[in-house]
Amino acid sequence: MSTSARVHYNHVTDAWKEFMGDNLHFGYFENGATDLPQATDLLVDKMLALCNVTSDSRVLDVGCGIGAPAFRIHEKCKCAIIGISTSERGIRLAAAASREKGYDDAVQFRVADGLDNGFPNDYFDIVWVMESSHLMADRQKLFRECFRVLRNDGVLVLCDLMLLKILPLHREIAHYLRHGFQYLQLFRTWGNGRVYSLGYCCNGLIQAGFHEVTAIDITEKTLPTLRWWRQNAVQHGSRLSGGFTKSDVDQFIIGCNILEKFFMSGMFGYGMLRAVK
C-alpha cells in the first residue's frame, strides 16, 4: 500500500468504522432482508468457502483493516492468522481488539507492506487479500509476493472492486475526459487506487506462477453496500470527531454516489479470485 494510502487510512479509519461497522469492506447481500453487518460477515464466509482453512492453517491477511475479518476467520476455523497493513491507526485498533478478545497469541497484527511483507518464503497456507489490492501501486508485485510466502498447494483468495467494461482506446480516453472530475472525487473519498478487470488479474496471477485460477463476479450481490454506507454517513456524520470534518462526511457521500453510478452503468463491479500455488 502506498504512502498516500497509509496517510488516507490513518485519517478515515475511525469515521469509516461508524459508517461501515468493524468490517471496512463491501458486503454480500443474499436477499433484500440482509442488513450490512450480516452482509459483511457473509462476504468473509464466501471467501472462506474458496479456501480450505483448518485449525492447522497459517493465514496472512494482507490489508487487514481493523481486524474484523481476521477475527471471524479465527472464530470459525480456530487457525493462526497474521494481519498486516501500512495504516498504523488500523493496526493499533486491531491489536487492541485482539487483546480484548483474548486472541492476541493466535490473531496478531503488524505494520507491514503487502508488496514487501518481510515474511519467509513458503510460510503461509492461505494468503487473504480482502479489498486492499486496488490501493497497491504494483498489482503484479503483490501477486509475486503472495506467491513467494505461500507454501506449495497454498491458496490465495482475493476480493475487490473490478473494472467490468473494457473500452477501445479512443472511447477510454473520451470516458476519462468526460468523467475526470468524478474520478478525482473517487480518489478523494477512497484513496489513490486503481481497478483492473478480472481477466487482467487472472492473467497476472498466472504470470506470477499460480494455477487453478478462478474468478467470480459478485457485483449484483455487493451493490447495496453503497446505499447502506451512504445512509450511515447521513445518520452518524454530524456526531463524528477526531479530525473528520463535515466536509469529509460530504465527500464520503459524494464518493458513494459516484461509485454507485459507475456500478449501475456497468463500468465497475466487484469480484472474487482464487488461485493455487
Does residue 259 sit in helix, strand or coil? helix
Tell me the mean pLDDT in the region 119-133.
98
Pairing of strands 80-85, 124-130: unpaired
pLDDT at 121: 98
pLDDT at 14: 87
| Residue from 212, 217, 202, 207 nearest 268 by CA | 217
Cell numbers for 277, please give them: 500455488
Please name the amino acid found at residue 11. H
pLDDT tens digits along 18-53 = 899 999 999 999 999 999 999 999 999 999 999 999
The full set of domain ranges for the chain reads 3-276
- C-alpha 108/C-alpha 48 separation (Å) is 19
> Domain 3-276 falls in which CATH fold?
Rossmann fold (3.40.50)
**213-241 burial by CB neighbour count: b if 16+ within 10 A, else e?**
bebeebeebbbbbbebbbebbeeebeebe
pLDDT at 243: 67
Handedness of CA 31, 268, 23, 107 (dihedral sign): positive
pTM (2 d.p.): 0.94
